[in-house]
């Protein structure tokens, strides 16, 4: 366990440091012996996966941690072979169907049916006969795949339980929502994060300011800087610890390149509202996209950067948020990211120009 994110991941429900009521509910679910289908949702870095793995541990004991990775090949209808990674333990199986784009339906159909049709027998206890299937990024499942899922969930419910993990429920079709128990995992508060970080610092022997106030203010700063995303916070905390001997308020916070690029871009947009600038920003957008930054994240960052800009007045802000949501929809409906990102820039330039 090398990265701290991994190293200090809580293994059991009891050792999770925040959202105790969720832990309690999960624990009682696990202890009841039976288990509904779950849909766990919440922003990234809130600890969804951690909680689920801890629940599995609660349910099945430490055997869950004996995980291995299989590579399975599937055949698409067009006879193309696709490879697919599956993480599995004796008790559960974990898949990320969205890796396959439009072919995710095949995985859902083939794999789940296959698992569903074979019954698990536990000779020792005679209970927990079901196997758990964790589906990551359920919100990016295609409609077809979700439709394939809904009947499977009912038909094979004696043999499998599904745990869907997603960032939001908006992309999940209502029939699936109605078949699952929804659990929302919100982001931890800043104070909770500070607690986690100081725990880590203690174990890792990181030199922090001795003054308690100063220390917590720094940790809070780190947490806020990473948008309370716990994974990101721990990662950047580790980065800080590596680049500095001791963490103090003088330390430069971790700023990622792509974030900086977007910040620059938004500054440029506010400053110079012209076609020339638009075509320049196009190449920046291309560069961002080519660095594998998802278009939606670019749009989100851009919007927040624009909103935070002091030159943007309040009436503009309403319109920018409006435009942002419009283009966010376009991004999800369309497929040509660059058109819509540039469209958003043009629109926000127009907004700023008209509300001057």
Do the strands 181-184 and 38-41 form a parallel or antiparallel pair, or are they unpaired?
A: parallel
Comparing CB distances to other proteins, the nearer of 34 and 257 is 257
CA gap 127, 119 in Å, rounded: 12
CB atoms within 10 A of CB 142: 18
Size, binding site for other proteins by CB under 8 A: 75
Note whether 87 binds other proteins by CB under 8 A.
Answer: yes
Note whether 303 binds other proteins by CB under 8 A.
Answer: no
C-alpha 353 chain-centroid distance: 36
CA gap 92, 63 in Å, rounded: 10
Q: How many residues does the chain have?
A: 356
Note whether 173 binds other proteins by CB under 8 A.
Answer: no
Q: Choose the stretch contacting other proteins; rule: CB under 8 A; options: 193-201, 213-221, 307-315, 338-346.
A: 338-346
Residue 234: CB minimum distance to other proteins, A = 10
What residues between 56 and 85 interact with other proteins by CB under 8 A? 65, 67-69, 85
Report phi then psi at 72, rounded to 5: -110, 150
C-alpha distances in angstroms, 247 versus 35, 203, 289, 346?
45, 15, 33, 42
Instruction: List, in sequence order, every residue forming a beta bridge with 334; answer none if it has no partner.
Output: none
Q: Choose the stretch contacting other proteins; rule: CB under 8 A; options: 114-122, 186-194, 277-285, 306-314.
A: 277-285
Note whether 5 binds other proteins by CB under 8 A.
Answer: yes
CA gap 63, 131 in Å, rounded: 13
Interface pattern 21-60 for other proteins (x via CB under 8 A): -----------------------x----xx--x-------
Tell me if 269 sits within 8 A of 333, measured CB to CB: no
Among 73, 250, 335, 356, binds other proteins (CB under 8 A): 335
Among 36, 235, 319, 332, binds other proteins (CB under 8 A): 235
Tell me if 193 sits within 8 A of 5, measured CB to CB: no
Q: Choose the stretch contacting other proteins; rule: CB under 8 A; options: 19-27, 92-100, 171-179, 185-193.
A: 92-100
Note whether 94 binds other proteins by CB under 8 A.
Answer: yes
Comparing CB distances to other proteins, the nearer of 289 and 307 is 289
Note whether 202 binds other proteins by CB under 8 A.
Answer: no
Handedness of CA 88, 92, 98, 104 (dihedral sign): positive
């Amino acid at each position: 366990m090398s990265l701290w994110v991994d190293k200090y991941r809580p293994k059991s429900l009891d050792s999770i440091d925040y959202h105790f009521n969720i832990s309690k509910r999960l624990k009682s679910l696990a202890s009841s012996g039976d288990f509904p289908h779950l849909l766990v949702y919440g922003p990234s870095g809130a600890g969804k996966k951690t909680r689920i793995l801890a629940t599995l541990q609660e349910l099945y004991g430490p055997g869950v941690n004996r995980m291995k990775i299989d590579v399975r090949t599937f055949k698409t209808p067009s006879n193309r072979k696709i490879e697919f990674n599956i993480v599995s333990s004796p008790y559960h199986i974990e898949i990320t169907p969205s890796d396959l784009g439009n072919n995710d339906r095949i995985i859902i159909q083939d794999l789940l049916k296959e698992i569903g049709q074979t019954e698990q027998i536990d000779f020792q206890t005679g209970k927990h006969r079901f196997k758990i299937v964790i589906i990551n990024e359920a919100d990016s499942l295609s409609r077809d795949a979700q439709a394939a899922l809904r009947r499977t969930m009912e038909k094979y419910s004696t043999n499998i339980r599904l745990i869907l993990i997603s960032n939001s429920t908006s992309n999940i079709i209502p029939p699936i929502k109605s078949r699952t128990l929804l659990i929302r995992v919100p982001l931890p508060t800043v104070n909770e994060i500070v607690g986690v970080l100081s725990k880590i610092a203690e174990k890792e022997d990181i030199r922090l300011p001795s003054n308690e106030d100063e220390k917590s203010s720094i940790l809070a700063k780190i947490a806020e800087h990473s948008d309370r995303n716990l994974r990101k916070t721990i990662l950047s905390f580790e980065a800080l610890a590596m680049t500095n001997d001791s963490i103090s308020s003088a330390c430069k916070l971790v700023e990622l390149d792509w974030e900086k690029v977007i910040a620059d871009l938004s500054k440029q947009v506010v400053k110079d509202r012209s076609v020339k600038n638009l075509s320049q920003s196009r190449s920046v957008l291309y560069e961002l996209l080519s660095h594998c930054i998802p278009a939606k994240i670019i749009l989100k960052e851009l919007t927040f950067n624009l909103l935070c800009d002091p030159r943007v007045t309040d009436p503009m802000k309403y319109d920018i948020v409006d435009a942002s949501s419009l283009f966010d929809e376009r991004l999800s409906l369309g497929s040509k990211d660059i058109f819509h990102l540039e469209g958003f820039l043009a629109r926000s330039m127009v907004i700023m120009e008209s509300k001057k």
